[in-house]
Structure 1
Amino acid sequence: LPCMKWLIDFLLVRGVNHFVPHAFTDFFPDEDCPPHFYAGGNDPQFESFSKLMKYTNRAAHLLYGTDMEAAGAILYHGEAEWMNGQGCMFSEKPAKICYDAHIPYDIVPVDSLLRAKAEAGKFMVGERSYGFLAVPSCRYLPEPFWQAAKSLKAAGVPVFFIDAAPMCPEELPGEVVELKKLADHIFSKRLAHDYHAGSALLRIARFDREDTSAFVLFNENPMPILESVRFPAEGKYLKMDLLNEVYEKAETKDGVVDVSLEPGESALFLWGGVEDQEMEAFPKECCWKERSEVCALWDIDLYEQGKAAGYSPFRCQSELINITGRQGNPQFSGKIRYRTSLDLKKAPLGLDLGRVGVSAKLSVNGHDLGWRIAAPYRWDISSYIKAGKNEIEIVAANTLANRIQDAFSRRMPILPSGVLGPVYLLRASEKQFEQEDIYGQKSL
C-alpha cells in the first residue's frame, strides 16, 4: 500500500486525475496476474486497501476539471532527433532543470506551435497558456518551426535556445541560454514563480478553478523535508491531509508556509473556495513541536490469515523487532498485534509509530482511531486518553510477499514487518493551545 500510494501521488502531482484500476483476478494464487488485493481473504492489507481507493477518489475528484499551471513550454523537436540524434539535446534535459526548480511546463511539438495564438507576451495552444518557449539545442529545425518562432517573437514571447542555436535562415528569434542557467534566467525575467524550495525532490503543482487555487506537494525524497515554501498566495488557507481526512486552517501574510513532509507524504494547500464562516469551523493547524520516545515493552501476538483461526502469542514484554527478520518468522504474512499500557497526563498529545511495515491501525482505551497506510504513522490521541493508565493496541499488517514469492518480484527486497519504531509521543506549542483547541478533526 505505501508503494501504491506513492505511485498515485506521483501521478496526481503531474496532473493525472482519472484512474481506472485493473489487473483484478478471481484466481488465487495466479502467477500471471499479481498483486492480489483480496487473495481469497489471505491478503493482510486488504482491510485497509479501501483507504487508498477512497483517497484516490477524493483527490481526483477535487482536482478534476481544474487548470494545471504551466509557466512555459519546452519544444519536443522529434524531427531534429530523428535527423541527427547525436547532435541533439533531448527535451528531458531542460525539463529536469525546470522540474527541479519547481517551474511548471508542458512539452509541445512543432505541430502545436503552428496552431498557437500569441499576443501580449503569451501564447496559447488550445486552452493552455505559456509565457516562454525553451528549445533544446540541435543542428536543424524544420521551416514551420521558424515561422512559428517569428510569430512568438513578434508577440513578445521569450524564446530560449538552450546552449546553442540551430542553423537559422534569418535573424535568430530569441536568445541563447546555458542549460545550467535556465532556471535562474526564467526567474530573473519573472516568467515563473519562485517557491524558494531547496529540495529538488519536493514536487509542487498548482491547480486553479475560478477563485480557488490548490497546491499539491509531494515528497519524493527518501528523507523527511522541512521547508519554508513561498506560495504565490496570501491570507487564510486550508491544509488538507486527504488520505486521513484531516483538514486544518492557517494563515500567511506573505505566502511563506513551513512545510514538513515525511518520505512519500503528500499534502494539499487550498486558497479560496471556502466561505469565512465555514473556514472558522475548521481547527487550527497542529504543529507538533516536541517529542519524547516511548520506552515501553509490548505483548506481541500473530495472526496468519488463511492459516490460523486467530491470534497466537508470539512475545511477551518485548522490544520492537522486525517480525520477519532473523529474530522472528521470515515466512510470516498476516497481522501483528501489539499491546501495552502508557501512564499519561490528560493533555493534547499525538502518537507516532515511526517506521512501519506496512500498514497499522491504532486503538486507545478501546477507541478505534483507524488505519495509516503510509508515513507518517501518526495519530492525534488527545480526545481518547485519560490521566493515568492508558491501554494502547496496534494492529500492523504486512504483505503476502513473505509467504508467496512470484516470478515478478523474486529479486525485489522484502520490507521489514510490523512496528519498527521508534515510537514517539508528540506535543504542540502551548501558545497554540491558549488560542484554540486545535486537535479536532473535520471531514469535508
Structure 2
Amino acid sequence: MKRSLLVLTLLAALLSAEGQGIKPKSNPWPEIQQQMRPWTRWWWMGNAVDEKNLSTALSAYAAAGIGGVEITPIYGAKGYEDRYIDFLSPNWMGMLDFTIKKAASLGMGVDMNTGTGWPFGGPQVTPGFAASKLIVQQYRMPRGQLLKEAIEIKDNTQQKAGAKLQAVTAYTADGQVFNLTDKVDSKGQLNWQAQGADAEIYAVFSGRTLQQVKRAAPSGEGDTLDHLDKPSVNAYLKRFDQAFAGHSPCVRAFFNDSYEVYGATWTPTFLKEFKRLKGYDLSDHIRELISKDSLSQENGRLKSDYRETMSQLLLENFTQNWTNWAHQYKSITKNQSHGSPGNLLDLYAAVDIPETETFGSSHFDIPGLRRDSADIRNVDPDPMMSKFASSAAHTTGKTLVSSETFTWLTEHFKTSFSQAKPEAERLFLAGINHIFYHGTTFTPSDIKFPGWLFYASTNMVPANSLWPQLKGMDSYFSRCQSLLQSGKSDNEILIYWPVYDAWSSPKGLDMPMKVHDVDVWLYPTEFYKQSMLLAKNGYSFDFASDHMLATAKADKGQLVTSAMANPYRTLVVPACKFMPLATLKDILSLAHDGVTVIFQTLPEGVPGLSNLEKNNAEFKSLIGGLDLKSLSNGLKGIKWGEGEILVTGDVQQALSFKNIEGEQLSKSGLKFIRRKLDDGKYYFLVNHTAKTIDEWVPLNLNSPSVALLDPQSGDYGQAQIQLKDGKTWVKVYMQPGETFFLQTGDKKTDKKWVYLSKPGKPMSLDQNWKLHFTQGRPALPSDKQLDHLVSWTALNDTAATAFSGTGAYSRTFMLPAKIRGEYVLSLGTVDETAHVWINVQDAGIVWSIPFQTRIGKFLKPGKNTIRIEVANLMANRIRDMDIKGIPWRNYHEINFVNINYKPFNAAGWTPVPSGLLGPVQITGYNR
C-alpha cells in the first residue's frame, strides 16, 4: 500500500505543469530531485542479472549522479547462457522488484520497456496479432471470359502466415468499377465475367510483415505486434498482466522506443475502419492506392485519407490504449512517436512524457571541439525534429519531455564529455528537459574489461575510463534540468503543422515520419523554412496539430491550448495547400474570439476525397468571405470578430505589425530558451559560436533584478543590468561553449556576479609537472617528470600509449598577495577530463570547453599546490587489445559493430591524444 501511494504521489507530481522544486532561501538553485538528474537506458543483456551485481551497479550509477534507469532487455553475451533469465518469468519479476527497491533506497527511479529490444512483439504475438501489410495481386480478364486461376495468395510464406483475402475489385477498360468480393467462393474461384470490356482484377489480401523483434532478449523473441489493431495490442499486454498478477510493478514509466515497424501498411480491419472514419469504400480505389509514382492529385487525395486513417488507428488502438493500460498500474508512459505513420504531434501528446532522440552528431563552431569525420555518422540531429516532442508537452501542459541522447554520437570509445555537452544543449534549446543517456549496459563484476557493451551507445559504464569524472557532467545536466523543468514553457507563437500537405503526396503508400527522412517530409516545406527563420530572429514557438487547434480557446486575445499550458500571443499558419474544413473553421473561430491569426498564404482547399465537393465548396466560400484590406506594403488583413486575420508572405512583418518582437539578444549569436515562473522568468543562454560574447544584451521584459546562474559550477550572483527603451539590458560575458541562466523578477540574490572581462597578466604553469598514473588499464605507466606538457602517447612509453585511465599532475607555484577579484585556472587542451585540487581543496571537475574554472577562493598568497587528475578515452586500451588479439566481444544477434555497422576492430587506429596538453594558466581578474 505504501509503495502504491508513493507511485500515485510521483504520478501527480510528474503530470503537474509547475514542478518547480524546493528552493532553499539562501540559494536560487532548486533542490535537485530525482527526475532532474540525467537517467540512462539500461540494457540487460540476456537478462543475466543477479541481486548482488544489480546492487553494485545501481550504487555506482547513483554515486555518479544518475537519477534513474530505463530497463531494456536485449540479446546476451555468448558463453553465459546459463545465467539468462526468461523475460517476465517469476525470476525476472523478482529481479525487477529488487531493482525498484534498491533504486528507491538510493533515491533513483526505474522505467521499464514494455517489451524487449524493439519494436513491441514477442511469443504472445500469434499470427493473427502480428504486424500486417497490404498485399495486392493483379489478374487480367478478357471480356466475356471467366478467370481461370483461383484468387488465392501466391506467396508460400504468406500462405503459411495466414494471409486472408479481404476484397476483390474489377476495373473495366470502359471506366467501370465493380466490387466482386462476394463473387469469390471458398475455393477462390471468381464467378463473374466482364461483359462490355476487358477488366483488371485487383485482389486485396491482409498479409504479414514477418518482422521479428530486433535485439530480443530471451523469451522476448517473436513476431512484431500489429499496432493498428486494438485486440492485438490487448493480447500483447495480457502477457504483462499475467506476469504482474494484478499488482503494480511500481515502475515510474513504461517506455516505448521509436516506431520501427517496417512495411506495416495494413491491419485486417482496415477497410471497415476506413469506411467508419472517411465515409466511403476504400476497396473501390485499390488501383489508385497502390500506385507508386503517380502524380495524380486524386491519388494523392486518396492516400491522404489512407494515411489519416493509419494515424487515427495508431493513436486510438495503440498509443491511447497502451497509456490507459499503464495508468491502471499507477504508472505513466514515455513514448518515442517519431517514425510513426501518423501525426507526430497528436501521438506525442497522447502519452505522459513525449520523448525524442538524437542520432549522430552535430557541427558546432566552438573552437577546439573535436569532430573527426572518420568517427561520425553522416547524420545531423535536427532541433526542429525535437520540437515536435516538446511542442506536444508544452501545448498540453506536461512538465517533462525527454530524449534518448547521444546514440552513435561518435565511434565507440572515442566520445568525450566535451562533445556530448553542446549536443545536449541543442536539445535543451529545443525544449527537451530530461536526458536519458544511450546508454549503460549491465555487466556482472566477474566480466573482464571492457565488460558487456551495446553496439550503438556511448558506453556510459563504470568500465569507461572517464567514469570517475562523470559526476561533473551529471551535475551540470542536473542543474540545467532543475531550471528547465521549472515553471512553464514561455513561447509566444503557435505554428500550425500542415500535415495534410505531406499526406497528400501521390507517391508511395504509408508515410512514416522518420528522423532519418526529414529531408523528404520536413525540409522542403514552408513550415520548416518559416520555423527556422523565426528561430534565427529570436522568436520562440511551438507546433500545433489540427486536433490541438480544435480544442484550443481564446482568452483575452491570447490562444490557450490547455489550462496547464502558457498561452500564445498569436497563431501562424505557414503556406500550405491543404487544410481540413474543420480546421479552417476552428482557426476562424479562434480569430473571432480574439486571437490574431497570421497566414503566410491562404490555403487552397480541403484534403482527401471524403465529401470533397461539398467540403471544398464550403471551404472556398469561407476563404472568399475574407475581405482582406491592404494594411501596408505586402500585408493584408481584416478585423474578424474580436481578433484579426493577417496575410503576408513575410511572417515577421505581420508579427512586427502586432508588436510581437523576437529576442534581440539572438543578434549577438547567443541561443536561448525561456521558462515562465510565477514571479519572473528563466533565460537559458548558450554560446555555440566561435567568439567570446562580451556585451550588453536586451531582454523582452522590464525586470528590477536579474540573477546570473552558472550551471557548470552552481555559482550565482546578481548580474549588472540597465534599463533602456523599456527593456532590461544585461551584461553578459560568455566564452565559446559556455552557458548561463538568467533569472528575472523581484527577488535579489545575496551577492554580485564577478565578470571576467578585466584580466591581468596570466601566470604560466606549463613546466615542471610530476605525472603519476593512479588507475587504469592494462598497466600503470611509470611516473614522469615533465619539462613541458605533452600527450601520454608522445612519452616514448609503450605502456602510456596503450593506457586508458587516470593520471595525476602535480606541482607547486608562487602567488603574490591576492589583489584580484577572481582567479581563473585555464587548462588549455585536455584529453579528456580533469579533476582539480588547489591546496588539497576540491576545485571541481573540468570536463568541457573552455576547460577552465574559478579558483580564487582556494588560493593563498605565497606557495600553493595544484593537483589535476586527468582521465583519457577508452580508445587506446581497446586499440591495444585488438592489436594483440585479446578477445572481448562475443554476443548473439548483431554482436558488436562500428559506426558504419561493419564488424568492429580498433587495431588500425592511430593512438588518440591523452592527458593534459595545456597551456595551463592562472589569470587574475579585477572586479
TM-score range normalised by the length of the shorter chain: 0.7 to 0.9
1:207 alignment partner, one of 675, 689, 708 = 675
Q: Within 2, Cα distance between the matches of 1:175 and 1:414?
A: 61
Q: By how many angstroms is 1:90 displaced?
A: 4.5
Cα shift readout 1:208-251 (whole Å, capped 9, x = no counterpart): 12113111112233554445321224222221112311111224
Shift of 1:157: 2.9
Q: CA shift at 1:22, angstroms?
A: 6.0
- Residue 177 of structure 1 aligns with which residue? 648
Give the alignment's Cα RMSD to 1 decimal: 3.2
**Cα offset, 1:297, TM superposition:** 1.0
Number of residue pairs aligned between Structure 1 and Structure 2 = 419
Tell me the distance in 2 between the aligned counterparts of 1:325 and 1:108.
Answer: 56
Q: Is 1:387 the equivalent of 2:387?
A: no
> Which one of the candidate residues 405, 410, 421 is aligned to 1:5?
421
**For the structure 1 residues 225 and 92, does the alpha-carbon distance in structure 2 shift closer, same or farther, using more than 3 Å as the test?**
farther
User: Which amino acid in structure 2 is aligned with residue 361 of structure 1?
Assistant: H
Separation in structure 2 between the aligned mates of residue 297 and residue 304 of structure 1, nearest angstrom: 21
More strand as a share of residues: 1
- Kindly provide the amino acid, as one letter, of the partner of residue 853 in structure 2: W
Task: Provide the C-alpha distance between the structure 2 equivalents of 1:185 and 1:227, rounded to a whole number of angstroms.
Answer: 30
Q: 1:167 aligns with which of 591, 594, 604?
A: 604
- The code of the aligned residue for 1:132 comes to T
After the TM superposition, which of the residue ranges 255-264 and 110-119 deviates more from structure 2? 255-264
User: Greater share of helix residues, 1 or 2?
Assistant: 2
Q: Give, in whole Å, the separation in 2 of the partners of 1:413 and 1:243.
A: 32
Determine whether 1:32 maps to 2:454. Answer: yes
AA in 1 matched with 2:897: A
1:426 is aligned to 2:899: no
**1:385, distance to aligned residue in structure 2 (A):** 2.7
TM superposition shift of 1:361: 1.8
User: C-alpha distance in 1, partners of 2:702/2:827?
Assistant: 34
1:380-430 superposed Cα distances (whole Å, 9 cap, x missing partner):
33233333343332222122123226734579999743333333332323x
CA distance in 2, matches of 1:413, 1:67: 48
Per the alignment, residue 842 of structure 2 pairs with 368
**Does the C-alpha gap of structure 1 residues 84 and 251 become closer, same or farther in structure 2, counting only changes over 3 Å?**
same
The CA distance in 1 between the partners of 2:911 and 2:667, in whole Å, is 32
What corresponds to 2:805 in structure 1? 334
Structural mapping, 1:248-287, within 5 Å: 248-254=717-723, 255-272=728-745, 274=747, 276=748, 279-280=749-750, 282-287=751-756
Separation of aligned partners in 2, 1:289 and 1:130 = 42
Is the CA contact (8 Å cut-off) linking 2:774 and 2:808 kept in structure 1?
Answer: no
Contact kept? 2:492, 2:568, Cα under 8 Å: yes
Which residue identity lines up with residue 423 of structure 1 in the other structure?
Answer: V
Structure 2 match to 1:440: none
Say whether the 8 Å CA contact 1:265–1:374 is kept in structure 2.
no
Asked if the contact 1:234/1:253 (under 8 Å) is kept, the reply is: no
Contact 1:81–1:90 at 8 Å: present in 2 too? Answer: no
1:274-317, CA deviations, whole angstroms, 9 ceiling, x for partnerless residues? 4x5xx22x343333421534443142525274436756224521
Letter of the structure 1 residue corresponding to residue 871 of structure 2? A
* Residues 64-79 of structure 1: pairs in structure 2 closer than 5 A: 64-79=485-500
In 2, the alpha carbon distance for the partners of 1:273 and 1:56 equals: 27
Query: Retained in 1: the 8 A contact 2:836–2:844?
Result: yes
SS in 2 for 1:271: strand
C-alpha change, 1:12 and 1:325, in structure 2 (3 Å) is: farther
Residue 157 (str. 1) matches residue 157 (str. 2): no
Structure 2 Cα separation of the partners of residues 323 and 226 of structure 1: 36
Cα separation, partners in 2 of 1:166 and 1:62, compared to 1, 3 Å = closer
C-alpha displacement at 1:32, in angstroms?
A: 2.4
Greater Cα shift, 341-350 or 182-191: 182-191
2:779 and 2:803 in contact (8 A); partners too: no
CA–CA distance in structure 1, aligned partners of residues 778 and 547 of structure 2: 62
Match of 2:46 in 1: none
Matched, 1:230 2:679: no
How big is each residue's C-alpha offset from its partner over 1:166-221, in whole Å with a ceiling of 9 and x where there is no partner? Answer: 2261245743433xx43454245322343333245x32111112113111112233
Q: Please, which of 535, 557, 581 is the counterpart of residue 99 of structure 1? A: 535
The aligned residue for residue 112 of structure 1 is 548
Partner SS for 2:588: helix
Counterparts of 2:802 and 2:761, CA distance in 1:
34
Residue pair 1:116, 1:123 contacting (<8 A) in 2 also: yes
Question: Take 1:335 and 1:294, find their aligned partners in 2: how far apart are those partners?
Answer: 26
SS at match of 1:192: coil
Q: Deviations over 1:88-124 (max 9, x none)?
A: 7252211111212221100101121111112443211
Q: Does the aligned pair in 2 maintain the 1:321–1:327 contact within 8 Å?
A: no
Q: Distance in 2 between matches of 1:307 and 1:84?
A: 56
Residue ranges of structure 1 left out of the alignment (5+ in a row): 433-444
Alpha-carbon distance change, 383 to 123 in structure 1, aligned in 2, over 3 angstroms: closer
Separation of aligned partners in 1, 2:756 and 2:668: 21
> Among 852, 856, 859, which residue is 1:378 paired with?
852
From 883, 893, 914, give the equivalent of 1:417: 914
The higher-RCO structure (CA 8 Å, 6+ apart) is 1
Deviation string for 1:258-278 (max 9, x for gaps)? 32333332211112374x5xx
Q: What is the Cα deviation at residue 154 of structure 1?
A: 2.2
Distance, in Å, in 2 between the alignment partners of 1:190 and 1:321 is 56
Identity %: 23
SS at match of 2:753: coil
TM-aligned CA distance change 1:186 to 1:421, over 3 Å: farther
Say yes or no: does 1:313 pair with 2:779. Answer: no
CA gap 1:186/1:196 in 2 versus in 1, 3 angstroms: farther
Q: 1:49 aligns with which of 470, 474, 481?
A: 470
CA contact (8 A) 1:323 1:417 kept: yes
Q: Distance in 2 between matches of 1:389 and 1:284?
A: 28
Match of 1:147 in 2: 585
Pair 1:364–1:425, CA change in 2 (3 A):
same
Say which SS state the counterpart of residue 495 (structure 2) adopts.
strand
Q: Is the 8 A contact 2:558 2:567 kept in 1?
A: yes
User: Which range moves more in the overlay, 309-318 or 326-335?
Assistant: 326-335
Q: Is the 8 A contact 2:826 2:853 kept in 1?
A: yes
Native 8 Å contact 2:778 2:804 kept in 1: no
- In 1, are the aligned partners of 2:536 and 2:666 still within 8 Å (CA)? no
C-alpha distance in 1, partners of 2:922/2:911?
Answer: 29
SS at 1:141 equivalent: coil
Which secondary structure state, in structure 2, belongs to the residue aligned with residue 245 of structure 1? coil
**SS in structure 2 at match of 1:403:** helix
346-355 or 239-248: bigger deviation: 346-355
Q: Secondary structure at the match of 2:830?
A: strand
Bigger shift: residues 187-196 or 69-78: 187-196
Q: Secondary structure at the match of 1:149?
A: helix
Amino acid at match of 2:719: A
Give the match for residue 354 of structure 1: 828
In 2, Cα distance between equivalents of 1:334 and 1:246 = 30
Bigger drift between 167-176 and 338-347 goes to: 167-176
Which residue of structure 1 aligns with residue 897 of structure 2?
A: 407
Conservation of the 8 A alpha-carbon contact between 1:293 and 1:423: no
